[in-house]
Amino acid sequence: MTTMTMTGAAVALQGISRVYGRGPAAVRAVDDVTLQFPRGGWTAVMGPSGSGKSTLLHCAAGLERVDSGRVLIGDTDITAAGDSQLTSLRRTRIGFVFQSFNLIGSLTAEQNVALPLRLAGRRPSRAEVRATLDTVGLADRARHKPRELSGGQQQRVAIARAMVTRPEVLFADEPTGALDSRAARTVLDLLRAMADAGQSIVMVTHDPGAAARADSVVFLGDGRVVDQLTGASTRAVADRLATWER
Ligand SMILES: Nc1ncnc2c1ncn2[C@@H]1O[C@H](COP(=O)(O)OP(=O)(O)OP(=O)(O)O)[C@@H](O)[C@H]1O
């Protein structure tokens, strides 16, 4: 059963913890985090390696279960959802983009983009899929396989695939981490345009320049929120990161 609670946020984390292992070897990857990701806002999550960024993102997106606390997507408490409800919620209300694109190599760009609709039991129209590819500037690459596309183009196909179901929240784990700076800029421009159009985005990144394109930046340290900046420049983000990494 899912329950309804009004928070007004795109995603709300209420005292969530995720622990790996047991006893003295246990790692509190996410340690009692309470945080709201605003609707229609783009939030970057930063922090040193091992600070819990990916774990936090996976828990927020319902890819991983929390050990305690609650995760709300919109007004739906996903921690109370059963496995099949969670699968259906992930397919319809959440988009996820990975550093390594994770496209299916044997499928064309348009077949990759159509996949989430097929998994949701729909027969996607070519026009719908092409329109989504068009929004990422790749309508002319619809018949190309991933190996025939540049890294930046593959990531844009992955974003189109994540967006084709019109998810409430787009989660991105290091979306520019495998790209050169020019391709990274194109992807960040795309995310900026999506956020300006009202898309809620939560992005993990190591890159202060990427984080500065977001509306706000959350800093994690040892699984906890240690700081938050809004409207920060690349310099401000880098300086803050250096403080925590020192
Ligand atoms: N499946 C797992 N089993 C055991 N420990 C894990 C697992 N996944 C992550 N951890 C541990 O949890 C902590 C947080 O890991 P996480 O990957 O979330 O950090 P991160 O900030 O995303 O790191 P990075 O920037 O290096 O990707 C680390 O100490 C990590 O070793």
Structure ipTM: 0.97
Q: What is the pLDDT of residues 87-96, one digit of tens each?
A: 989 888 999 9
Domain ranges of the chain: 9-245
User: For 9-245, CATH number?
Assistant: 3.40.50.300
Among the ranges given (20-24, 148-152, 155-159), the one the predictor scored with the smallest mean pLDDT: 20-24
Longest dimension (CA), the chain: 56
- Any idea how long the chain is? 246
- The finding on whether 47 has its CB within 6 A of some atom of ligand 1 is yes
Atom of ligand 1 nearest to the CA of 55: 18
Q: Residue 53's CB: how many other CB atoms inside 10 A?
A: 26
Atom of ligand 1 nearest to the CA of 206: 25
Atom of ligand 1 nearest to the CA of 58: 18
Name the pTM for this structure.
0.94
| From 55, 173, 220, 245, mutation site for ligand 1 pocket: most ligand atoms within 8 A of C-beta | 55
What pLDDT is attached to residue 120? 83
- The finding on whether 181 has its CB within 6 A of some atom of ligand 1 is no
What pLDDT is attached to residue 79? 94
- The finding on whether 99 has its CB within 6 A of some atom of ligand 1 is no
Q: What is the pLDDT of residues 3-39, one digit of tens each?
A: 555 668 999 999 999 999 999 999 999 999 999 999 9
Provide the pLDDT confidence category of residue 245 given band limits of 50, 70 and 90: low
CA of 18 relative to ligand 1 center, distance in Å: 10
Atom of ligand 1 nearest to the CA of 51: 21
CA–CA separation, 240 vs 40, rounded Å?
A: 25
CA–CA separation, 94 vs 225, rounded Å?
A: 23
